[in-house]
Amino acid sequence: MSVQIKIVKPEASIADFVESFWLLHNTSAEAKEAIILPDGRIDLFVSESATEPFHITLLGLETGASHTSVAAGIRMFAVSFKPLATEYVLHEPVAHLLNNAQLVQPDFWGFEPADLKDFEHFCQKATILIKARLTNPIDERKRKLFGLIYGSGGSMSVKDLSANVYWSSRQINRYFTQQYGLSLKAYCNILRFRASFKHIKEGKLFPEQNFADQSHFIREIKKLSGFAPKELLRNKNDRFIQLSTLPEK
């Protein structure tokens, strides 16, 4: 691939809030068309290229595939946040960013162009900044809720999640709508869809994540990606970046 990607997991102290740090570098002289699939993350991008000055972008949750162009020569570092980070790290909801992104101040959190020279340095700096922002006590119901959602790959029902954290489904949905702009069930569907990526890449084009049946599986995959499972498996020209970066079977 002409697009280089590296993914680093966060240290345990911030793992409830950060899923990963990653870099993307298009080493070619040509832009690359790509399709980004919904994955349940909130992303903070720090990037720069020959044609795009240094800038920082915050991307909210997405409920459908988005087509993008990876600029020639672009170098991008990113923090992929778990939803709990909106309240305890970003300190603001991202409901207004559902299927959307916004440019933030170029000095956001003190990031600067020099930070794009060394990915390890960027990860260390971001980790320090995130820790410094964890000033409020964590609601253990929310920590447990997201632990169950992630641990089950989005396959637990809203009813079971509510019962396990002793928090009514109505209150949970109100929280999700206010913080993220979608319902708990919609978010779980996204994580269940994402959990199917590795199965699809392995050629397992049948439900393994609590889908009702084969038809339901295909329908949900097409709803969230715009493509049938067979097309995702084919992954022509590595256009589905998230599938391309999964380890081989």
Tokens of 238: 């590595």
Per the document, the length of the chain is 249
3-state SS, residue 191: helix
Write out pLDDT tens, residues 160-208: 999 999 999 999 999 999 999 999 999 999 998 998 888 888 887 766 6
- DSSP state letters, 81-110: E-TTHIIIII-S--GGGTT-EEEE-TTGGG
Query: What structural domains and CATH numbers belong to the chain?
Result: 3-133 (2.60.120), 140-244 (1.10.10.60)
| Cα separations in angstroms, 98 against 27, 67, 148, 177, 181 | 30, 16, 23, 10, 6
Write out pLDDT tens, residues 49-94: 988 899 999 999 999 999 998 999 999 999 999 999 999 999 999 9
What pTM did the predictor assign? Answer: 0.92
3-state SS, residue 34: strand
